[in-house]
Chains A and B, each alone.
Chain A
Amino acid sequence: MQDARIGALDAGTYYHRAALTDPAVARWLHRTCYLPELDAAALVDLDTLVVTCRTPPRRIRPIVPLLERFLAAGHTLVIMGETFPEEWWPHHRFVRLPVDFTWWRRPGGVSGLQFPDPSHPLFSHVALEHCQWHYHGGFEVGSGATTVIGCREGHAVLLDDTACCAPGRVIATGLDPFYHHGAGFMPNATRFLHGLLGWLADGAQRPSVSML
Chain B
Amino acid sequence: MSTMDLQGASTRARAPVLYVEPGRPRSPPFAAVPGLESLDQDELCAADFAGWRGVILPMHVDQRRFAAGADAIAGWLARGGRLYVGGNTNYPLLPGLAPFRRVEHVTPAQLGITVVDVHPVLDTLPPEVAQANAGVQGFYARGHVPPLPGARVLRLIGGRFPVDWELAWPGRGRLLVHAGNDPWTTGDDPARQVAFAHALVNWLAGDD
Q: Name A residues whose Cβ lies closer than 8 Å to a Cβ of B.
A: 10-15, 17-18, 34, 36, 54-59, 84, 101-102, 105, 182-185
Contact = CB atoms under 8 A, between A and B. Distances in A.
B91 A105 contact: no
Contacts of B158: none
A26 to B, nearest CB: 14
Contact of A58 (B40, B63, B65): B40
A54 B60 contact: yes
A183 B91 contact: no
A183 B61 contact: no
Interface residues of B, number: 26
Interface stretch (B73-81, B123-131, B136-144): B136-144
Contacts of B22: 13, 56
Contact of A105 (B65, B89, B135, B143): B135
B142 A102 contact: no
B136 A36 contact: no
Given A34-B64, A36-B62, 18 more contacts: A13-B60, A13-B61, A13-B63, A13-B87, A14-B88, A17-B91, A56-B22, A56-B23, A56-B24, A59-B23, A59-B42, A84-B24, A101-B136, A102-B135, A183-B142, A184-B88, A184-B142, A184-B143
B134 interface: yes
A18 B88 contact: yes
B102 interface: yes
A4 B192 CA distance: 48
B73 to A, nearest CB: 16
B138 to A, nearest CB: 7
A111 to B, nearest CB: 15
